[in-house]
Structure 1
Amino acid sequence: MSHRHPDQLALWDVPEWLQVVGVFDLETTGVDVTADRIVTAHVGLLDAEGGVIRARDWLADPGVEIPDGASAIHGISTAHARRHGRGAREVVDEVVTALRALLDAGIPVVAYNAPFDFSMLKYEALRHGVPPIESPSPVIDPLVVDKAYDRWRRGKRTLEVVAAHYAVRLDAAHEASADAVAAGRVAQALAERFAPWLPTTVHELHTRQIGWARAQAESLTEYFIRVGRIDPDDRLDGRWPIR
């Protein structure tokens, strides 16, 4: 992302939501949103230049063993989480509260592959008796937006790869705060790159992403069936931003 003086942004027809965005990311015990647990979380705010103006991090004791494979990704062991983490219910409650405050204020929250993080948070909230965020809005998912506007670009679409494509620095991948901030900056880079084609309001963008995500899941399903990766009767879940 280009970090220009704020006055220069007026020269570009960028959407209004670029001025301030929330960012959200989780690191977890695994990838099953209904059964796995939150280990670390980050919720923050970025200004129009991608600068961090507010940030909060959490470390939870998930109450279960953290598999070695997960620890190898995010660097948090079971022993470390038990020694230094706070109670899972308390962490989940505070993360939900922080996100709800942003969404209720109309501030869009950026989450890369949003259905993973928001669904994981929903099921953790239900597990701990915390009222969940059932229909988060407005949400911006750079993965969905990037696929919609640059559909035919080859290669992986992991946060690391997409951040590099848009010249966004990501020094500590799979660390919640670094991933959250990078995702926010990728969203801002997308807004600048594709400004002439983006909706003018974040609520319209949110609505369009629902359809884009569904279509992308259907397309990927057909590809996986064609290459024999899944059975013809199986379908990828295209619900967005929460499953």
Structure 2
Amino acid sequence: MWHTTRLCAFDLETTGVDVEEDRIVTAAVIGLGGGAPTEQHEWIADPGIEIPAEATAVHHITTEYAREHGKPAHVVVDQIAEELVAQIVMGEATVVGHNVPYDLTLLDRECRRYELPTLHDRLAHTPLHVLDTRVLDQYGLPYRKRPSETQGARQLVTLAQVYELQWTESEAHGCAYDALMSARIAYRIGTLAHMRRMDWPERIKHHRKAQIHHLKDLSVAELHAAQIGWAAEQAAGLQEHFRKTDPAAVVDGAWPLRPLEASCASN
């Protein structure tokens, strides 16, 4: 079953939300499950630029701390990519995370920034298979409302609550915590998919148009391929919603990696 295979939980904390321009500050790559010991790897980088106060408010890493304790950014970027390759190739792991296109795309751009081989270059002919808890959750439970004005329906904390996992706010937004939480959520979704629907928790059983059971008995490769289509459909729906107030709104539905922008590719 796809959720009981070896997983590689992956998360980045960064200087901002622009995958084309922002930089890695901390990272976690954690191999777990599949009957093998857990392998946890973490990094802190000196991103080479100022860390905005807004980003520090999220992950609590200041520019000064990163400069004092972090390794040079190009060293960290290279090590992250190498460890992911080791987990995928040697460990036969499936990468798992929350909103994975952000993390994989930013890592890709960082590799290019420092003229390092990208993850796809390093993998060569080894396939990259990914589980994205944001995509899986929205497919499985498509009509959930946001819990409050300040908490979105698809935020990691919301998924932890929905799938009845303990959430520790003081540890959240640390890359290791968030990576492990995404793996636990993926495991819960997989467990529900392979349960009888009548045995689901009440809050899941009575969810409008719940279709988690459709994820049953898929191979990792089949699930990866399905998420490409689901992510595109979800992005199109969100874009349609945004265009009610902003006719020019665009939501990128590329998954699990956003294509290199033409302006960047030509430089």
Aligned counterpart, 1:190: 189
Aligned counterpart, 2:210: none
- Tell me the CA shift for residue 60 of structure 1: 0.2
Aligned pairs for 1:143-222 (under 5 A) are 143-155=134-146, 156-171=153-168, 172-195=171-194, 196-198=213-215, 199-222=217-240
Q: Deviations over 1:97-156 (max 9, x none)?
A: 011122224310101000000000000010011101238720000100000010011112
- Tell me the CA shift for residue 17 of structure 1: 4.2
- Structure 1 gaps of 5+ residues are 1-14
Aligned counterpart, 1:10: none
Aligned Cα RMSD in Å?
1.7
In 2: Cα distance, 1:88 partner to 1:35 partner: 14
* 8 A contact 2:5–2:93 mirrored in 1: no
- Tell me the CA shift for residue 45 of structure 1: 1.5
In 2: Cα distance, 1:140 partner to 1:164 partner: 19
TM-score normalised to structure 2 length: 0.80
Structure 1 consecutive aligned stretches of length 4 or more whose deviation exceeds 6 Å: none
- Tell me the CA shift for residue 52 of structure 1: 7.1
Cα 1:88–1:207 change in 2 (3 A) is same
For residue 16 of structure 2, the aligned residue among 27, 30, 47 is: 30
- Tell me the CA shift for residue 206 of structure 1: 0.3
Amino-acid identity (%) = 38
| Count of paired positions | 225
TM-score normalised to structure 1 length: 0.88
Q: Answer 1 or 2: higher relative contact order, Cα 8 Å, separation at least 6.
A: 1
In 1: Cα distance, 2:166 partner to 2:72 partner: 32
- Please give the secondary structure, in 2, of the residue aligned with 1:241: coil
In 2: Cα distance, 1:96 partner to 1:169 partner: 30
Cα 1:52–1:169 change in 2 (3 A) is farther
- Structure 2 gaps of 5+ residues are 122-126, 147-152, 195-212, 259-267
Aligned counterpart, 1:121: 107
> Does the alignment pair 1:107 with 2:122?
no
For residue 43 of structure 1, the aligned residue among 21, 25, 29 is: 29
Q: Deviations over 1:157-191 (max 9, x none)?
A: 10011111111223211100000000000000010
* 8 A contact 2:235–2:251 mirrored in 1: yes
For residue 40 of structure 2, the aligned residue among 46, 52, 55 is: 55
